Amino acid sequence: MTEAAPAPVAEERADAPSPGRRRPGRGAVAAGAVVVALTAGAVVAIPLGGWDTVSLESAAIPELGVGELYQGRHYSVRLEEAWVGDVLPDEYDVPEDGMTFVVVRATLRNEWREPDSAATQLLSFDALEQMPRIARRADVRIASDGVHMGILPPGVDMDVLLRWEVPAGSVRPGEPIVFGVTDGRPERALLYEGTAWRDEHTAVQVALVPRPSGELEYPWQR
């Protein structure tokens, strides 16, 4: 007696939906597209400094006129005039080969309760971006007597000359330079005694049209 062959089982189509499962609706497809877009944005944003950088670049930075006061949390700043060139009143002030000077006259007021050295890094402009970070610090001199002052006392208006060396050709007399003023918020430092400044950003911008450095006169030499 032979056994009966089993009844053939119908093949299941690979593309047939399983019981209890539905195809994703349009809402799910749209949500997936949003996730993909955000992921792609993160891939771009993270190498460039993260979402903070993206928001900073997309945000409009307020502009001030020449001589207008920015009342900051760290420093209050008023930018007056600028000069560029490789000739300064003091014959000992000579730029390195391939470099030229940028000089800005400004009034700075350290608004924090402690003496502070951040005036050397207070301003930024495009030509500085070509420089190593350590070379972006300004030389700060008191306008009245020429004394070099790396640390400013709190609560005192200081008329100063800020000076940088930047690559020759990156700035020219008569061509506007847009200076960014840096500000931030204070926190107690963890690794040293004093204050650390967090969330530093370009708070305002001021455009100055520089004159040739040969027209600069040091007030203390008059």
Q: Residue 67 in contact with residue 79, Cβ under 8 Å?
A: yes
pLDDT in tens, 26-73: 554 444 444 444 444 444 443 444 434 434 444 699 999 999 999 999
| pLDDT at site 187 | 82
Enumerate the domain spans of the chain.
26-58, 63-221
pLDDT in tens, 129-173: 889 999 999 999 999 999 999 899 999 999 999 999 999 999 999
Q: Which residue has the tokens 């009844």?
A: 7
pTM: 0.72
Q: Residue 83 in contact with residue 212, Cβ under 8 Å?
A: yes
Rounded to whole angstroms, the Cα distance separating 34 from 39 reads 9
pLDDT of 75 strictly over 80: yes
Q: Residue 214 in contact with residue 85, Cβ under 8 Å?
A: yes
Q: How confident is the model at residue 222 (pLDDT cuts 50, 70, 90)?
A: confident
| pLDDT at site 196 | 77
DSSP E strands, the chain: 63-64, 69-70, 75-85, 99-110, 123-124, 139-142, 157-167, 177-188, 195-208, 211-212
- Which of 83 and 22 is assigned the larger pLDDT? 83
Give the Å distances, CA to CA, from 28 to 33, 36, 38.
9, 12, 15
Give the Å distances, CA to CA, from 122 to 62, 185, 208.
16, 14, 16
> Domain 63-221 maps to which CATH number in 3.30.70, 3.40.720, 2.60.40, 3.30.60?
2.60.40
pLDDT in tens, 186-207: 887 777 667 778 889 999 999 9
